[in-house]
Amino acid sequence: MKGVVKYKRGDGFTELRDVEVRKPNANEVLIEVHSAGICGSDLHIHHDHINIPMKPPVVIGHEFSGTIIECGSEIKSVKVGDRVTVEPGFWTCGQCNYCRSGFNNLCDQRQILGYWHNGAFAKYCTVPEHGLHKLPPNVDFMSGALTEPLACCVHGVIEQTKISAGDFVAITGPGTIGLLSLQLAKAEGGIVAVCGTSADNNRLKRAQELGATLTIDVEKDDAAELIKEHTDGYGADVFLECSGAAPAAQLGLEVVRKRGKYTQMGLFGNPIKIDFERIAFKELQVTGFIAQKRTAWERALKLMAHGMVSTKALITHEMPISEWEQAFNLFENREGLKLILHPE
Ligand SMILES: [Zn+2]
Ligand SMILES: [Zn+2]
């Protein structure tokens, strides 16, 4: 089969290659991939800009859905024909305190699909049973392929931050993480403002369609002033920094109210300079998150099944995997929001 392979460390060194289809072991299944989402981190793998262990040559792709076409001899929870999506971070030690308490996302030994093990930008993918989740009947393959980024946001917004109905929630960065966080904040009863730059115009429009009360172009308007106006001068109860840009983090420390909550959702890639002391002066609750845990996957699938969140609303492009390079370019130039690759 053809797969998009990162074949060597360093910037670039990614190509469409012939890859062997691996037969499932006793506790694994073989999945025919239907849809696979391109994530910002796939570009970081391509450019070798990411602080997560990778082992080239490896087929990239960790957000996907498909159908089980072969089961290992010991598989009990699923069968051939089941429609599924897969947790990409399921190779963990199983022994450390994090693994044993359900925080396998924090295991030091974690190896991730599409980084360490062959991933989903290919026609077939072989994975262990315990990372599988069946798609609810009314969740289609395209929506289901985006369970992974939604589960990340469920972990960050619902499990880590906790929003109360009536909270004013300010979000920076209207990309996938920002727009999924917007929908989750709405589902939790938040009143949401989404901030972006002028380059984010289309994304801010989409934020409006998805229920943002206020959208702010920070290059045109004074975001801090506008948020104050909407909160009787106090500031946002909750701030979700989804852009991974230092000025956005600084804006967050300014617009969040005293005793409010600040959650770092995006990754900067480098140490940044911000006014950290504000955390003390404002008595802020600051948190962050990385990846997702099983509880977040279950909640993400329920939210989609009940129509409370739409991942499909973020999809702008569908392309065959042979056009992976054009797709990566579109994504990098911010022409697409969420791009889906289909195997041929
Ligand atoms: Zn991802
Ligand atoms: Zn562990």
- % residues pLDDT > 70 (the chain): 100
* Pair 162, 212 in one domain: yes
Question: Is position 210 within any domain?
Answer: yes
| pLDDT value, residue 108 | 93
pLDDT tens-place string over residues 92-114? 999 999 999 999 999 999 999 99
* Pair 139, 155 in one domain: no
* Pair 33, 117 in one domain: yes
Tell me which amino acid residue 320 is.
P
Q: Which of the ligands is closest to the CA of residue 101?
A: 2
* Pair 26, 139 in one domain: yes
* Pair 8, 142 in one domain: yes
Q: Which residue has the higher pLDDT, 3 or 267?
A: 3
Give distance in angstroms: CA of 125 to centre of ligand 2. 24
What's the CATH code of the domain at 247?
3.40.50.720
250 lies in which domain range?
Answer: 151-288
* Pair 283, 202 in one domain: yes
Number of domains, the chain = 2
| pLDDT value, residue 35 | 98
| pLDDT value, residue 212 | 98
Q: Which of the ligands is closest to the CA of residue 113?
A: 1
92, 99 Cβ separation under 8 angstroms: yes
Give distance in angstroms: CA of 41 to centre of ligand 1. 6
305, 136 Cβ separation under 8 angstroms: yes
Q: Whole-model pTM?
A: 0.95
Question: Is position 298 within any domain?
Answer: no
Q: Which of the ligands is closest to the CA of residue 36?
A: 1
Question: Is position 217 within any domain?
Answer: yes
* Pair 281, 256 in one domain: yes
Q: Which of the ligands is closest to the CA of residue 100?
A: 2
pLDDT tens-place string over residues 172-211? 999 999 999 999 999 999 999 999 999 999 999 999 999 9
* Pair 331, 209 in one domain: no
* Pair 7, 125 in one domain: yes
Q: Is 124 exposed, middle or buried (0-12, 13-18, 19+ CB in 10 A)?
A: buried
| Alpha helix (H) residue ranges in the chain | 40-47, 97-100, 141-145, 147-153, 176-187, 201-209, 223-229, 246-255, 278-282, 294-305, 324-332
* Pair 13, 137 in one domain: yes
Question: Is position 125 within any domain?
Answer: yes
* Pair 200, 268 in one domain: yes
What's the CATH code of the domain at 131?
3.90.180.10
